[in-house]
Amino acid sequence: MSGLPSIDELREVLMLESYNTRLVVLATTLLGIGAGLVGAFLLLRKRSLMGDVLSHATLPGIGIAFALGTSMAGGGKSLGILLTGATLSGLAGVAVMLAIIRTTRLRDDVAMGFVLSVFFGAGTAILRMVQSLPNAAGLESFIYGKTASMVSGDFIVIAVVSVLSAVAVILLIKELTVLCFDQAFAASEGWPVLLLDGILLALVTAVTVVGLQAVGLILVIAFLIIPAAAARFWTERLPVMLILSAVIGGISGWLGASISALLTDLPAGALIVLTAASIFTVSMIFGTTRGVLPRWLDQRRLQRRVGRQHLLRAAYEILESRSRPPVNDPVSRTELLEHRSWTPHQLARELSHARKEDHLEAPTDRSMIHLSESGFGEAARITRNHRLWELYLIRHADIAPSHVDRDADLVEHILGSEMVRELETELASRTQVPASPHRL
């Protein structure tokens, strides 16, 4: 492996001073933008494995196109001829897969695995057979990608296909959105579902085929799927997801190709995918919409809120069992433990949280707790919402009073003010706290 790059080499790559570096970086960046846009719909259409099948099925077409081109015109290694063969072969693979799915009772994953392995095996055998033909060296680069061999003609093909794919996605965003989210609705409204599906497949095929030289047929599916999957962690809105997917794809192409230009022993295709995977990992952890860390924090906040509400309601119900209306007197820890199925450790934790939120008075006797004024009011509000929901379930869901407590417990913590007002209207209840419909 080469050593660390010098400042001059770094500047040369960042400023795109080298002609070959300029071609490779710009081509992979444009390809990443196009793949990100098309891949977003491929992901939403739940056709990720279809893209993998398509990419692997291109290999026989490359070998056959090279053999035919060499025997007929002597120019079998022309990129146009090879990509034409790859396109036809890839589409044939997808057609065989769809035929297996629709004419047999085999599952989709079985058909995909069969076509992927058979076409890739056939392609490997064909490439071995054509090695004896003149000028056959380097055909294997389509398996792993070889961006360093890119010339201006390759750049033009990649740029044109990427830009046209991006424009097609933007022009058909409404139609493709309906197709991905509700195919049955689209068909019932008279939308040409089959045509739209064909257009999406054609876009995937175009990006996959032109991406063969950049990242190879094994890794090109990652270029399609990873940016879209990473973008999904940050937003629920499709336009924003498309923009993020295109940006992540473009950055992956630019950064991976630039690092490969600095570290010449490392293949660009692998670095592009690793760059995209790094962005995916960061998105998976920190993504504001679906990231692991924000969801874990939300879960923690919900558990804390549920625990606080259980504690306050338990204290209020104990006070309610002494007198009605209840008087805010101290409640012993023993009564709370008997009222709820807490361990002493769990009760101590909930009490600590309640004190931090100013729902408890400062303890004078550690065996007793005393709700603060705000805590008592909050306990009454929580108990009232719980009773309203219990009465609603008894009246409209025919749940027995003896079983309604647990059912109400599952949903009461997500009741908003609007839902509470609807319950009040439905139950014609304006009392402070309704009586419990079951034995406490």
Q: Which domains are seen in the chain, by residue range?
A: 7-269 (1.10.3470.10), 294-429 (1.10.10)
Q: Average pLDDT in the 343-369 region? A: 86
pLDDT digits (tens, 9 = 90+) for 375-385: 999 899 888 88
Q: List residues bridging with 368 in a β-sheet.
A: 332
Out of 61-75, 160-174, 249-263, 363-377, least confident range: 61-75
Whole-number pLDDT of residue 278: 96
pLDDT digits (tens, 9 = 90+) for 42-58: 999 888 878 788 888 88
**pLDDT band at 36, cuts 50/70/90?**
very high
**pLDDT band at 220, cuts 50/70/90?**
confident
The segment with the largest mean pLDDT, out of 19-33, 69-83, 100-114, 233-247, is: 233-247
Q: Average pLDDT in the 157-170 region? A: 91
The one-letter amino acid code at 8 reads D
Whole-number pLDDT of residue 176: 92
Residue 401 has pLDDT above 80, yes or no: no
The label of the residue with tokens 């769809």 reads 98
Whole-number pLDDT of residue 440: 63
Residues sharing a CB contact under 8 Å with residue 232, sequence separation 6 or more, in sequence order: 43, 241, 287, 289, 290
d(CA 153, CA 407): 67
pLDDT digits (tens, 9 = 90+) for 285-324: 999 999 999 999 999 998 888 888 889 989 998 998 888 7
Contact 245, 37 (CB under 8 A): yes
* 435 to 311, 387, 388: CA distances (angstroms): 19, 7, 10
SS3 of 59-128: the string is HHHHHHHHHHHHHHCCCCCCHHHHHHHHHHHHHHHHHHHHHHHHHCCCCHHHHHHHHHHHHHHHHHHHHH
**pLDDT band at 434, cuts 50/70/90?**
confident
* 394 to 87, 320, 400, 405, 432: CA distances (angstroms): 63, 22, 6, 10, 19
* 81 to 23, 86, 130, 213, 342: CA distances (angstroms): 21, 9, 15, 13, 72
Contact 432, 380 (CB under 8 A): yes
**Residue of 205, 213, 201 lying closest to 90 (CA atoms):** 205
d(CA 150, CA 202): 24
Residue 438 has pLDDT above 80, yes or no: no
Whole-number pLDDT of residue 164: 93
**pTM surpassing 0.85?**
no
Q: How far is CA 344 from the centre of its chain?
A: 41
Q: What is the mean pLDDT of the chain?
A: 84
d(CA 438, CA 440): 6
Q: How far apart are the first and last CA of the chain?
A: 73
The one-letter amino acid code at 160 reads V
Whole-number pLDDT of residue 281: 97
Whole-number pLDDT of residue 185: 87
Whole-number pLDDT of residue 29: 93
